[in-house]
Structure 1
Amino acid sequence: MDNGSGGFVPVQTRRPRPPPVQQRNPRPPLDHSKFAAKYSKNKPNRSTGSGTKGTASNETNRQHTNIVGRVERHRNAGGQMRRCICRWVMTYGRWLDPYEFLTNYNEGQGCAVCRVNFHSEENRSEHFDEHGKEFNIFAKNGDRRVTRNAFRLEIKYLPKYSRMIIRVENDSNAVLVLRSAYLLRLDKQLDATLVGPLRMNPGYTYEIEYTIEHCIPNHVYTVVLMAIVAGSRVELVEQYHVQMLKSTKIVGKPLKMDILAYHHIPDYLITLYKNNFEHSNNFNRLAILCLENLRQFIKQGLTSVNYIEQLRLLNMIEDYDLQTIFSTYTIHNATVTPAEQHRRYIIRVDQFQVAPAMLEIDGYVRITVHRSTGPRGTNLEFINGYIDLINEDEIIVTMQQPVRFHLPCKVEFPLNRTQYKLEYNALNLISRVDLEKFLFPKSLPKKKKPVRQTEFQWFQPTIADNREQVTAIRNIVNMTSYPAPYILFGPPGTGKTSTIVEAVLQIWKNQPKANVLVAASSNLACDEVTKRLKQFIPEEDIFRFFSRSCERNIDGIDIGILEISNLATGIYEVPSYEHVYRSRITVSTVTNCGRFAQARITPTFFDYIFIDECGSAKEISALVPVAGVCTEGPKIHASIILAGDPKQLGPVVRTEYLKQTVHNTSLLDRLMSQGIYKRQQGQFNPLVITKLLDNYRSHEALIHYSNQWFYDGELRAQAAPDLANWAIGWDYLPNPAFPIIMHSVVGVTRMDRQCLSSFNKEEARCVLHYIQKILSDGINDRQIREEDIGVVTPYSKQVSYLRHGCRNYGWDNVEVGSTEQYQGREKPIMILSTVRSQRDHVGFLSNSKRLNVAITRARALMIIVGNPDTLQRDPHWYRLLRYISDNQGVRGVDFQLRKPDIDLSGQPFSYALEEADFA
């Protein structure tokens, strides 16, 4: 028999993670210099870059599947461990007739899953061919898909004894009777690993032993569990696709992190916060002094003198503000109801005294149960968990252990302060650096040696034809701005990510001893960079470092990325120092990079640090991948590259007071407005900054407005016609030559009292109408897939309302998201719902950066649904509506354009829009 291999790891990787427990005793300083030198020898000269040329190893990137395959670097004992992960789970419920208990399905000639016996081998073979190679189960008449799996599966394989152990846990809140368990063999036989009923209470675990003589690493195996709900005639058929992994071994200990300081918020700052930062005669001396400093900071902005103190104070204000908000979500006498699955509970939203608008999925939950009251006081039980799902009327949480829900309890939602602690730590470390040269450069340093690397063999051939990309890559590789950061200014669709990837590839090829860290604000951006790099670089040279929270979403991560990450085993593991020191390229989020400083990675190890999406990060956040990671005392050992677009969405700042401070400005935005990064005689200095100009994403009409009002009319439409022009001539376009529709809808803006967000039912119906028409009729004889359509709206309630509408129609792959979620994304067709209607102002739609992001995501077709009478009250929206109206792109209710009550004269390129002609 030739079956599989396995290790001991949960197949269902959704285990709750409690807030990190802080240790008290700090450890002594660590010195990894000798250890790092083992993997990183002579460093290239920072002013020139050096090294011999190498050759790239081209490797086709595998398609996305939710399986974990081979991983080269994994820690386990003696190389004997095997691992597996679930790529897919499907559960069906069906009625069970009484005679089914008596029916025997012959293993050689029958299929117990489908309840059929066969009279010939040919019939049996045909039947199993229908199931497919991985034995997919299809619903029949009367079968019902169950959205939540009933069991939790864990598998371990003992090679020495040729034994597979399948651990099955009842993960539901019902009593289940496990009737049988099957494993699909390579000869398309279902092998019964359990015969006979087994009664399983919620949380009950049972181990099934199975003999396997030979193993096939990376092979996908199917496990089928069949059970009935006790006391009913409902049978559950649950199918798992699992993959066994190769045995891999790595030597070394995991990263050992320094304990992050708590950073108590001082009383005088709390006093100012509670008084809305207005003077009071009751303030003590410290509060008065702090208030005066804050007022001076607003006047002065950031300087090298006030840099550390100002950023620390502003960060503490935001930190305390969020702690205060989250403390209002505490429910003291909470009613917690068990959900369908084991250890999952429902908390009704109407129990909150304040609408929990700030809660997010994966946020911390702590339930305190009052078990008993005796002479020694109340006996309390503390149970940690996380938020699993947020609905309109309820919040579903997953807890570490069962909750005694019939007892009085208190529910708290503690703020995860890890990000703030890492930012405070970064600020302490960066305070030792020469800030004038790094963060306030006034002139370029004189280079002792000339630039060496001028010729490149391109991994992406199209780069060679783009002058700005070539310039940026050449100067990044040669560190022309060092020690000051190099800025890559990437407007929408101009190939910013491609430029970053090519620069990293050229460093990898031409400087064999150089190491690179790539950081980005989001996991999505990190995964995109990693996926592109893997097409050209051997897997052993790349390491994707995930945070612990990513484990819960492991099924949505590309398999090729999982293979080279610390999630390769299906569960989160703290990387070892070898993970970092043996990989020439490391990719992680901006916040997670702070773990390297926490672990005291050798500060001379990284030669280049790229920070993508830097325009959307607070300045203090952008310090996290740098401070302590490549700094040592006053020195900075790496060349820093900041990539982003200051004209798109900036940092997310919710505290009203902070919106008037530098806390609302990114490092990239601040640098571009001063010093050596400013335009001189209309031109940027290419030694320190490059602005990309060729737009490869969109039809010319789709970028025309943003080009004129945000990018000085410099962008050039270079999108391939087969990507950008296929909507031209569509019979539903008001102007067949203009791929933008402004559909005028006079709806009603409603406020959700629970989440304090707005929604508009009339606009939602219009959006769904467009989706239905496009999917059913296509465009110009082109079949449109659900994945080709994106819906963006600035209000979270409208996002959930539209998602619910799409699910009702069965459009599971039409992606609905907020403006923030779509930044850096693109779709062939974008539909924008503005929501605001019959109001005196447009609310936060007046944010020009939000408008710029929303209207530059589409490649071929843009549809805007909203109320023009409301929108035109804002000058930016007035200009956009005038542009669309002048090009006959309007549908729906008639409206009259009226110039807003502001002076539009003197605005750059104000008449260029009127001259645009797409007729």
Structure 2
Amino acid sequence: MLDHLTSICPDLLYDGVCNVDQCPKRHDAKLCDICNVICVPDSSFDAHLRSAHHQANFAALEATKSLKCTLCNIIVTGRAPWNQHISGAAHRKTATAKGVSPQTEPVDPTTPSGHKRCSLCKRNIISNQWSSHLRGQDHRKREMVAGYKALYEQAQLDKNSVTVTPAEVHFGIVDMARSREGVTAKLILSTDNATSRIRIVSVKAYTTSNKSISPFSMNLPAGSASSVLTHAKRITLPVQFQHDQLGNYEGHVEISFEDAVKRRFIIVRQVKAIVGDTADHELLKARIPYKGRVRVPWRKGQMLLPGRRPPALDAVPWVKKLPAAPIPDFLSTILTTQPEDTAKATLCTSRIPETLDHQNHGKFFKLLLWTEEFRAERDLRLYDMADVQFKKEGQYYTLVVPGLAEKRPSVVVGDRIEAQAANSTTQRCFEGYVHVVRLEDVCLCFNPSFKPGSGQRFNIRFKLNRVPFRRQHEALAATGSALKTVLFPEVTEASTRQVSKSAPSTLYNPLLKNNPEQLHAVNCIKQLEPGTAPYIVFGPPGTGKTSTIVEAILQVLAQDTRARILACAPSNSAADEILGRLKTRLDKKVMFRFNAVTRDRTTIPEGLLQYSYTNPQGVFSVPSITRLSEFKVIVSTCVSAAFAYGIGLQPGHFTHIFVDEAAQATEAEVMAAVKRMVTTSTRIILSGDPLQLGPIIRSDIARDLGLGKSYLERLMERPVYNDSVAKKTIIKLLKNYRSHKAILDFPNERFYGQELQPCGSPPVINAFLGSPVLANKKFPVVFHAITSMDNREASSPSYFNASQVSLVKDYVARLLEQGTKATDIGVITPYNAQAKKIRKKLEHIAGDSTVGTVEMFQGQERRVIIVSTVRSTRELLAHDIKHALGFVANPRRFNVAVTRAQALLVVIGDPLVLSLDPLWRAFMNYVFNNGGWKGDAPGWDTRAPVDDSGDYVQSVLQAAVQDMDEFARRMEQLVLEGMEADGAEANEDRPWREVE
């Protein structure tokens, strides 16, 4: 259907004008690039512009679109600020100086020079590739959807003097009891034509979900007289909704009419219903409609007046000067002026080495690190604030920062914030240093000349803390012969030599005695020779990799009194975990915990603060170099571990460097701990799981070019760690002490070659067998299918889903009734907004439960894990359905989420959306085929093999297109049936045939 779209002139459609003489294409179409609707014929365009949907989209765009003034070279956000700008004195003065009218039109700053913007695909296209882009399959698909949207929009209009009210049927929030019984709404049909006699031919309800039977229904009035609409008689059509599952349901009803001359037409009305708890939905709904963040006005080239640094920044006696390492101009130009794909291609062809080796290693990762820093700085702009006021509080100026408690943005002591007077032409910009961070505000010290007037408002910009990046650049610049083995280990006699298999005479953790893989790892680390390949402990979920590392550290110390150990991890929480396990054996005389001077003391677990050092002002620091050299173990994060070199410890001081959770660190972060301190006498031990969460990378370019691959993962790809070679370089732990077999089976098969052995304690892992919350009493895994709607509010781009929040609450309440402790329940969700909504809902019934994103749960476990996947869409006309999964469709995030549970795993999600991803589809098949499914059954064959490379997005889109094709055919068929009923009218446009 809609084949006519291929005959439309693309120049007219996208440029608004056709300059081709005698162009054979159609010229009766218009594109609304605000709503992405193609109106054919163009006479329907005016009706579209008057529609409420277009008006809402237009208003939103007018308020948020970025507009660039080419005269003043500045960008403003929204039409109202633009009008203010061009009427301002500064703009008019610039226009006069250039001899042009100040009434200039803005340009789109998001479209680079030499590119054209495709509004349908939301992409910038290189100008000389525009024609081929328009012929591309993906663009053609989006054109088809745009045509369907116009078709559906037309069908919703009242026509031929018939009015159907209301414009949309919404049953509202229906509780489960009423939904099971069925609820009814009404459509009122009327005509304002005194002579009309219009017959209702048929009525039918359709659903937009994958259900074969619609929960909506509608019937014709009984008797032929009851279905004739006249000016004197309105007709009421009841619409019913009936269903027995929670969630959001959408569909439409089609009413077919026939007028007095047998012409047929159709009017469509959308129908919606939500089955759930009214109080929950009212509490959780978006308070402020989502608008997207508005760019905060910022004047460049201002004189910067520096603020007063907090004393904490000078608490450590550094002896090495940290390099500035600014982003090179060439890289900044590429990243600023080129679209992402083009920029990546440019870097690949001109800056990325074909083969990575020890000579270009540092240069390569410095480039990726700068690329990541560029993106991090840009992302920080999301938190810029407009028209804010400061409050004077003693020596400080305080600023309330929304999202501070959730670390969005993350602000620590020593960070800088710049302030410019709002709605002013002043040429000064004030820099303020953060001296104190509280729950909702920060305390700043500015330049002494910063004296805001009463009620004065400022625009605020958060500045990126570059110190961690600079520490990594400092490490990456290191060179030396010892680094070749560290960075690119080869197969040697030492790396393949047999290791003693006898258990240590004394085990500090007796639980290891029955685990051959853990014992082998400890022996290998004890016998690791200096200068050989780094040793890797590959620890899948629940296999005790940190226990293995802690035992190995204690064994090394017992074996060699001269050993000096640096134990680090990517995060403070992971480093604290190492410290917490070692503290039962090592006191503060032999072990030191280095904390960054900016760390919040309240985040340090009880009993661990004693291992840190603070100066007389109470700021984290370091003892003397002599005292520091005496510690047998120093614990730190990877990046902070660079302090050892910075304060003067000599390379080779550490005999062993341990990096736990190494798969979560970038290679540059690990190098901060390793590269400056390693010599031929250093032994390096890494532990982690490259199949769980990797490093958090903001830049897609940096991630794709290699920063997303951890040092551990890159090493594991080298021959020295190959199973057929490695005897002394790597061990894979196999005994899972965490999860019930049913929870472990799927990730074991998908990620670990079915090698993991369930060895959890039976009283723990079997605790929920027979529980009422299970669909299969012998299978402690539940997938609860729920059709719902994700949402956003205010300017936050993070999603939440009220129906899923309500269902999470129901599960938690039922578990608490059965005696489960709140501390034994963890709720995982990929979106911060969802986590906040769930915490709010659980605060009075399960305040001690843990709710957070996947990253928060890495390395943790709970008796019960409930996963809320959030994303859901019922709008199958949307052309960007591929993005409906967001970053839910990430194998490593999936692996972490489903392997945290010991005894019960409950996953709540929209099966249609999740089934777009082969991994999620396979998981849902696993649960359904084992009887663990709740909710509406999946709309696909769960016994059919899953194609891991299959494009299920295309199959769903194709199904949506088929639905719209059927809709278009029904509309067309009505017209044809009307023509067949009256041959004379149908023949009017046919020529007479001369037979003689």
Sort the TM-score into its range (normalised by shorter chain).
0.5 to 0.7
1:801 Cα offset (Å): 1.5
Tell me if the contact between 1:365 and 1:387 (Cα under 8 Å) persists in the aligned partners.
no
Tell me if the contact between 1:806 and 1:812 (Cα under 8 Å) persists in the aligned partners.
yes
Q: Note the 1:159-198 alignment, pairs <5 A.
A: none
Partner in structure 2 of residue 823 of structure 1: 858
Partner in structure 1 of residue 370 of structure 2: 316
Q: Note the 1:204-353 alignment, pairs <5 A.
A: 255-276=317-338, 292-294=349-351, 296-297=352-353, 300=354, 302-327=356-381, 329-331=383-385, 333-336=387-390, 344-347=398-401
SS of aligned partner of 2:864: strand
1:904 to 938, 947, 964: 947
1:348 Cα offset (Å): 6.3
Distance in structure 1 (CA, Å) of the matches to 2:666 and 2:400: 35
Change over 3 Å in CA distance of 1:288–1:714 after alignment to 2: closer
Q: Which is worse superposed, 656-665 or 379-388? A: 379-388
Distance in structure 1 (CA, Å) of the matches to 2:386 and 2:773: 56
Distance in structure 2 (CA, Å) of the matches to 1:731 and 1:341: 60
Tell me if the contact between 1:742 and 1:864 (Cα under 8 Å) persists in the aligned partners.
yes
AA aligned opposite 1:836? R
Distance in structure 2 (CA, Å) of the matches to 1:528 and 1:618: 20
1:860 Cα offset (Å): 1.0
1:254 Cα offset (Å): 6.0
1:608 Cα offset (Å): 0.5
Paired residues in the alignment total 620
Distance in structure 1 (CA, Å) of the matches to 2:428 and 2:948: 71
Query: Among the aligned pairs, what percent are the same residue?
Result: 28
Change over 3 Å in CA distance of 1:488–1:659 after alignment to 2: same
The TM-score with structure 1 as length reference comes to: 0.62
* 2:912 is aligned with 1:865: no
Change over 3 Å in CA distance of 1:481–1:885 after alignment to 2: farther
SS of aligned partner of 2:388: coil
Partner in structure 2 of residue 362 of structure 1: 412
Partner in structure 2 of residue 605 of structure 1: 653
* 2:850 is aligned with 1:800: no
Q: Which is worse superposed, 487-496 or 652-661? A: 652-661
CA offsets, 1:187-229, max 9 Å, x none?
xxxxxxxxxxxxxxxxxxxxxxxxxxxxxxxxxxxxxxxxxxx
CA offsets, 1:873-900, max 9 Å, x none?
2110011111111111112333333479
Q: Note the 1:768-787 alignment, pairs <5 A.
A: 768-775=809-816, 777-778=817-818, 783-787=819-823
Q: Note the 1:839-858 alignment, pairs <5 A.
A: 840-841=881-882, 842-858=885-901
Tell me if the contact between 1:542 and 1:564 (Cα under 8 Å) persists in the aligned partners.
yes
Partner in structure 1 of residue 564 of structure 2: 515
1:586 Cα offset (Å): 0.8
1:651 Cα offset (Å): 1.3
AA aligned opposite 2:815? I
* 2:465 is aligned with 1:411: no
Partner in structure 1 of residue 926 of structure 2: 883
1:450 Cα offset (Å): 9.1
1:562 to 573, 584, 609: 609
Partner in structure 2 of residue 240 of structure 1: none
Unmatched segments (≥5 aa) in structure 1 = 1-252, 908-919
* 2:691 is aligned with 1:642: no
Q: Note the 1:540-689 alignment, pairs <5 A.
A: 540-550=589-599, 552=600, 554-567=601-614, 571-576=618-623, 577-629=625-677, 631=678, 635-680=679-724, 685-689=726-730
* 2:488 is aligned with 1:440: yes
1:471 Cα offset (Å): 0.6
AA aligned opposite 2:350? N
Distance in structure 1 (CA, Å) of the matches to 2:944 and 2:472: 43
Distance in structure 2 (CA, Å) of the matches to 1:750 and 1:348: 20
Partner in structure 2 of residue 834 of structure 1: 869
The TM-score with structure 2 as length reference comes to: 0.58
SS of aligned partner of 2:776: coil
1:734 Cα offset (Å): 1.1
Partner in structure 2 of residue 719 of structure 1: 760
Q: Note the 1:102-117 alignment, pairs <5 A.
A: none
AA aligned opposite 1:889? G
1:446 Cα offset (Å): 4.2
1:569 Cα offset (Å): 8.0
Tell me if the contact between 2:828 and 2:852 (Cα under 8 Å) persists in the aligned partners.
yes
CA offsets, 1:683-737, max 9 Å, x none?
x723000000000111111111111010011000011112211111212211111
AA aligned opposite 2:581? R
Tell me if the contact between 2:862 and 2:901 (Cα under 8 Å) persists in the aligned partners.
yes
Tell me if the contact between 1:828 and 1:861 (Cα under 8 Å) persists in the aligned partners.
yes
* 2:791 is aligned with 1:750: yes
Partner in structure 1 of residue 268 of structure 2: none
SS of aligned partner of 1:624: helix
1:340 Cα offset (Å): 14
AA aligned opposite 2:522? I
Distance in structure 2 (CA, Å) of the matches to 1:528 and 1:436: 31
AA aligned opposite 2:363? E
Partner in structure 2 of residue 224 of structure 1: none
Q: Which has the higher contact order (CA 8 A, sep 6+)?
A: 1
Partner in structure 1 of residue 239 of structure 2: none
Change over 3 Å in CA distance of 1:276–1:656 after alignment to 2: farther
Distance in structure 2 (CA, Å) of the matches to 1:417 and 1:450: 45
AA aligned opposite 2:840? H
Partner in structure 1 of residue 827 of structure 2: 791
CA offsets, 1:433-476, max 9 Å, x none?
44432221221254899978955110111111110001101011
Distance in structure 1 (CA, Å) of the matches to 2:742 and 2:502: 37
Unmatched segments (≥5 aa) in structure 2 = 1-314, 875-880, 951-996
1:812 Cα offset (Å): 2.6
1:602 Cα offset (Å): 1.8
Change over 3 Å in CA distance of 1:882–1:417 after alignment to 2: same
Change over 3 Å in CA distance of 1:523–1:903 after alignment to 2: same
RMSD: 3.5
Change over 3 Å in CA distance of 1:668–1:905 after alignment to 2: closer
AA aligned opposite 1:440? F
Distance in structure 1 (CA, Å) of the matches to 2:526 and 2:382: 50
CA offsets, 1:765-785, max 9 Å, x none?
00011112212x12xxxx322
AA aligned opposite 1:760? N
Tell me if the contact between 1:730 and 1:736 (Cα under 8 Å) persists in the aligned partners.
yes
Larger Rg: 2
Change over 3 Å in CA distance of 1:872–1:278 after alignment to 2: closer
AA aligned opposite 1:611? V
Distance in structure 1 (CA, Å) of the matches to 2:587 and 2:811: 45
Distance in structure 2 (CA, Å) of the matches to 1:279 and 1:805: 42
Distance in structure 2 (CA, Å) of the matches to 1:361 and 1:811: 29
AA aligned opposite 2:551? E
1:903 Cα offset (Å): 6.3
SS of aligned partner of 1:559: coil
Distance in structure 2 (CA, Å) of the matches to 1:596 and 1:557: 21
Higher helix share goes to which structure?
2
Partner in structure 1 of residue 583 of structure 2: 534
2:442 to 372, 382, 397: 397
Distance in structure 2 (CA, Å) of the matches to 1:811 and 1:273: 47
SS of aligned partner of 1:791: strand
Distance in structure 1 (CA, Å) of the matches to 2:467 and 2:553: 29
Distance in structure 1 (CA, Å) of the matches to 2:912 and 2:665: 34
Tell me if the contact between 2:657 and 2:685 (Cα under 8 Å) persists in the aligned partners.
yes
Distance in structure 1 (CA, Å) of the matches to 2:460 and 2:339: 31
AA aligned opposite 2:754? G
SS of aligned partner of 2:619: coil
AA aligned opposite 2:331? L
Change over 3 Å in CA distance of 1:445–1:863 after alignment to 2: same
AA aligned opposite 1:397? V
Q: Which is worse superposed, 454-463 or 464-473? A: 454-463
CA offsets, 1:106-161, max 9 Å, x none?
xxxxxxxxxxxxxxxxxxxxxxxxxxxxxxxxxxxxxxxxxxxxxxxxxxxxxxxx
CA offsets, 1:52-81, max 9 Å, x none?
xxxxxxxxxxxxxxxxxxxxxxxxxxxxxx
Tell me if the contact between 2:613 and 2:620 (Cα under 8 Å) persists in the aligned partners.
yes
AA aligned opposite 1:667? Y
1:380 Cα offset (Å): 7.0
